[in-house]
């Protein structure tokens, strides 16, 4: 049985820039290993880049996703501000350079090939703004979902989305996902068990781990990274209620707000 591991960026130790195949730093960068122990299937780093500092991807062995949390940066001719996302596929090439005020980046990837889902050819880089490729609203539970990487790409299976809840509710219905995931709280709070996790908290949820969450007063915003198309299964006292359902396909139950061309 899997587990849920919580870690806050403020508690993560400063460390050397990770030795990752095809990834290298340039300039003044302070790195914290938020989730990076050998037992974790997915890893998360926080990089604080001084102005002009760079991170380079030169045909990495695994796919990577970068979320701009604070500050600004550039990739090619595109300016990146908070809530922009860059997905660098395996075999892709990219350089992200911090802007004049520096940048704080959240950097996600699989630990190794066993959980990386690299069946597709790779080689591309995708850049998405705060509204992602699709943004929808579910008025039944006051949830807005923004999808940046949808696992439907013909060259990669990376997934990255954000969920926002404005209305508080107690601990939610128990469910599980067949895939490993990393949740990162960006706004408000997330109730898990008896604890309210504040912004800056990452929760690593192992595949097939049953859990639920609630939303306190003040709402909740969180991002979610997975290396492949995500699914969910709702639970009851008698066990699973249905076969895994694609989260992307489930978006059809929501009202479309925007969709990128």
pLDDT at 185 over 70: yes
pTM of the model: 0.96
Give residue 82's pLDDT: 98
Instruction: Look at residues 216, 219, 213, 255 and name the one whose alpha carbon lies nearest to residue 232.
Output: 213
The token pair at 91 is 């075999």
Per DSSP, the residues of 118-146 read --S----EEEE-TT-SEEEEETTTTEEEE
Confidence label for 247 from pLDDT (cuts 50, 70 and 90): very high
pLDDT digits (tens, 9 = 90+) for 44-55: 999 999 999 999
What element of type H or E holds 98? strand 93-110
Mean pLDDT of 70-91: 97
Name the CATH code of domain 11-128 (choices 2.40.50.100, 2.60.120.10, 3.40.50.300, 3.30.1440.10).
2.60.120.10
Give residue 10's pLDDT: 97
CA separation for the pair 85, 80 (Å, rounded): 8
Give residue 261's pLDDT: 53
CATH topology agreement for domains 11-128 and 134-259: yes
Mean pLDDT of 64-84: 97
**Helices and strands: H and E segment counts in the chain:** 1, 24
Interior/surface letters 221-257, b for 16+ CB within 10 angstroms, e for the rest:
bbbbbbbbbbbebebeeeeeeeeeeebbeebeebeee
Q: Looking at 73-82, 135-144, 204-213, 233-242, which range is the least confident one?
A: 135-144
Secondary structure (3-state) at 190: strand
What element of type H or E holds 117? none
Instruction: Look at residues 58, 115, 44 and name the one whose alpha carbon lies nearest to residue 90.
Output: 58
Is CATH 2.60.120.10 correct for 134-259? yes
Give residue 236's pLDDT: 92
Q: Please state, in angstroms and as integers, the Cα–Cα distance from residue 136 to each residue in 139, 198, 252, following that order.
A: 10, 24, 9
- Residue spans per domain, the chain: 11-128, 134-259
202 strand-pairing partners: 7, 184
Give residue 1's pLDDT: 56
Give residue 114's pLDDT: 87
């Amino acid at each position: 049985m899997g587990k849920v591991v919580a870690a806050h960026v403020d508690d993560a130790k400063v460390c050397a820039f990770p030795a990752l195949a095809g990834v290298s730093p340039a300039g003044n960068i302070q790195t914290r290993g938020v989730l990076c122990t050998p037992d974790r299937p997915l890893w998360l780093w926080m990089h604080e880049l001084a102005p002009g500092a760079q991170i380079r991807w030169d045909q990495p062995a695994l796919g990577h996703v970068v979320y701009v949390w604070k500050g600004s940066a550039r990739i090619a001719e595109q300016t990146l501000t908070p809530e922009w996302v860059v997905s660098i596929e395996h075999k892709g090439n990219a350089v992200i350079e911090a802007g004049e005020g520096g940048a704080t980046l959240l950097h996600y990837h699989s630990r190794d090939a066993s959980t990386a889902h690299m069946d597709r050819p790779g080689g591309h880089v995708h850049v998405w703004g705060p509204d992602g490729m699709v943004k929808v609203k579910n008025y039944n539970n006051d949830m807005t979902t923004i999808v940046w990487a949808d696992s439907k790409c013909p060259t990669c299976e990376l997934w990255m989305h954000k969920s926002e809840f404005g209305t508080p509710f107690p601990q939610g219905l128990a469910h599980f996902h067949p895939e490993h995931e990393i949740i990162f709280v960006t706004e408000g709070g997330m109730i898990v068990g008896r604890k309210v996790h504040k912004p800056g908290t990452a929760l690593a949820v192992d595949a097939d781990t049953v859990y639920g969450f609630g939303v306190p007063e003040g709402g909740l915003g969180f991002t979610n990274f997975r290396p492949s198309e995500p699914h969910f299964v709702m639970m009851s006292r008698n066990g699973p209620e249905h076969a895994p359902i694609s989260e992307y396909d489930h978006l059809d139950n929501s009202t479309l707000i925007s969709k990128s061309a």
